[in-house]
């Protein structure tokens, strides 16, 4: 059997698939179900310092090409995290806790409350397109990204900090480098791409928030491009996220340079068993092509010569 185990930001995973933030991550028992379905780790829905309702519906729509969502970062708030963390002790796989804030101070406040607990990693949702404040302004400026990550690092103690970046900027590489410099242990790339669908009979955008984030199949080439560019320029590991629905997609993302694979919208297309299915497909492809582990394929799309096989360990 192919070895899909991987280490990511200090966490030892049995396979590289990680439930992306925003999917199935509200209730601990739902995340347990994701664990049973074969995920290597899960990411919680983003938690902010205060309770947030999120937007009215429609919040999520989808077709065969993409999903469009503007859930709007609904969360019970960090004050309820103690009981949630208590319930999450049922999890055997790592639970990455995602946080959000509408200002750097708000991020720091959430981080302070969350990092009191023994969490394996903290992911910063600093690129959400579905909020009026606290979204895209953090991942489109090197200075802001640097300040955010370093200030969170100051209160996070030993907890590894992962910066989740978005695609809607020409400064993605600079922002990723700034996050690395500020002490991020990993980069999650990418969050959703801003988009909109207008229903012409309704004469209105379909989402209540009007714009939303595109995920799913249409996002994949955008995500692969982002991961490829970031990998060239940072040393910290990348969780490649965006439109991965099959084992082949996962291999593609790993060849671009990803260490782990974020899986979200695939659960829409293939059910919660997407994790199991993708791992099997990865394993089958690797066996067929003579690869024993993920290190042998990571980043090989960057090599100058075609058909170059990465040397085994």
Partner 1 sequence: MKNDFRKCDDFPQMVKITKIVDESPTAKTFFLDCGMNCEPGRFIMLWMPGIDEKPFALSYLGKQVGTTAVLRGKFTQALFKLKPGDMLGVRGPYGRGFSIKKGQKALVVAGGIGVTEVMTLIEELKKPTVILGAKTKDELVFEKKIRKHAKELYVTTDDGSKGIKGYTTDVMADLLKKEKFEVCYTCGPEIMMTKVLGLCNKYRIDLQASLERYMKCGFGICGECALDDSLVCLDGPVYYKDEINKLTEFGKFARLKSGRKVTLQEYFAGHG
Q: In the numeric block, which tokens belong to residue 121?
A: 């990693």
Q: Which of residues 267-286 bind partner 1 (CB under 8 A)?
A: 267-272, 277, 281
Based on CB atoms, which residue is closest to partner 1, 12 or 65? 65
Cα–Cα–Cα angle for 149, 155, 158, rounded to 5 degrees = 90
In degrees and rounded to multiples of 5, residue 7 shows phi and psi of -110, 135
Q: CB 227 → partner 1: shortest distance, Å?
A: 22
User: With contacts defined by CB under 8 A, how many residues of the chain interact with partner 1?
Assistant: 53
Write the burial class of residue 42 (CB in 10 Å: 0-12 exposed, 13-18 middle, 19+ buried). buried
Q: CB 142 → partner 1: shortest distance, Å?
A: 33
9 is catalytic: no
Q: Does 91 bind partner 1 (CB under 8 A)?
A: no
- Distance separating alpha carbons of residues 156 and 32, to the nearest angstrom: 26
Which residues, in sequence order, are CB contacts of 294 under 8 Å at separation 6+?
Answer: 3, 4, 6, 16, 254, 259
Q: CB 247 → partner 1: shortest distance, Å?
A: 8
Stretch that binds partner 1, among 70-78, 112-120, 139-147, 228-236 (CB under 8 A): 70-78
- DSSP label at residue 78: G
Q: CB 81 → partner 1: shortest distance, Å?
A: 11
Based on CB atoms, which residue is closest to partner 1, 44 or 260? 44
Could you say which of 1, 118, 170, 201 contacts partner 1 (CB under 8 A)?
A: 201
DSSP string, 27-38: SHHHHHHHHHTT
Based on CB atoms, which residue is closest to partner 1, 117 or 269? 269
Q: Which of residues 294-313 bind partner 1 (CB under 8 A)?
A: none
Q: In the numeric block, which tokens belong to residue 205?
A: 């955008």
| Helix/strand/coil for 204 | strand
Q: Which of residues 40-69 bind partner 1 (CB under 8 A)?
A: 45, 51-54, 56-64, 69
Task: State the sign of the Cα–Cα–Cα–Cα dihedral 39, 238, 222, 131.
Answer: positive
Q: CB 22 → partner 1: shortest distance, Å?
A: 7
Instruction: Of 159, 232, 247, give the one whose Cα is nearest residue 189.
Output: 232
Based on CB atoms, which residue is closest to partner 1, 80 or 309? 80
Active site residues: 128
> By the criterion CB under 8 A, which residues form the site for partner 1?
22-27, 29-30, 32-33, 45, 51-54, 56-64, 69, 71, 74-77, 80, 197, 199, 201-204, 206, 208, 245-248, 264-265, 267-272, 277, 281
């Amino acid at each position: 059997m192919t070895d899909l185990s991987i280490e990511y930001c200090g966490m030892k995973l049995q396979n590289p698939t990680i439930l992306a933030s925003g999917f199935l991550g509200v209730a601990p028992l739902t995340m347990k179900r994701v664990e049973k379905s074969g995920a290597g780790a899960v990411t919680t829905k983003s938690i902010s310092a205060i309770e947030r309702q999120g937007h009215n519906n429609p919040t999520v729509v989808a077709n065969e090409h993409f999903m469009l969502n503007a859930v709007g970062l609904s969360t019970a708030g960090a004050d309820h995290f103690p009981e949630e963390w208590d319930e999450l002790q049922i999890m055997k796989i790592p639970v990455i806790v995602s946080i959000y804030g509408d200002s750097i101070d708000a991020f720091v406040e959430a981080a302070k409350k969350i990092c009191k607990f023994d969490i394996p990693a903290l992911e910063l949702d600093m690129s959400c397109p579905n909020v009026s404040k606290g979204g895209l302004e953090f991942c489109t400026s090197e200075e802001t990204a640097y300040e955010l990550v370093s200030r969170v690092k100051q209160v996070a103690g030993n907890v590894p900090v992962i910066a989740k970046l978005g695609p809607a900027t020409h400064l993605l590489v600079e922002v990723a480098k700034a996050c690395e410099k500020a002490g991020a242990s990993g980069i999650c790339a990418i969050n959703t791409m801003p988009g909109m669908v207008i229903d012409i009979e309704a004469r209105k955008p379909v989402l209540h928030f009007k714009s939303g984030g595109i995920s799913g199949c249409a996002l994949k080439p955008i995500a692969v491009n982002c991961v490829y560019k970031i990998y060239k320029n940072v040393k910290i590991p990348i969780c490649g996220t965006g439109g991965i629905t099959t084992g082949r997609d996962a291999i593609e993302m790993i060849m671009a340079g990803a260490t782990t694979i974020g899986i979200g919208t695939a659960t829409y297309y293939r059910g919660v068993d997407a994790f199991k299915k993708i791992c099997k497909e990865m394993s089958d492809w690797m066996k067929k092509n003579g690869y024993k582990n993920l290190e042998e394929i990571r980043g090989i799309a960057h090599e100058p010569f075609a058909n170059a096989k990465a040397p085994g360990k």
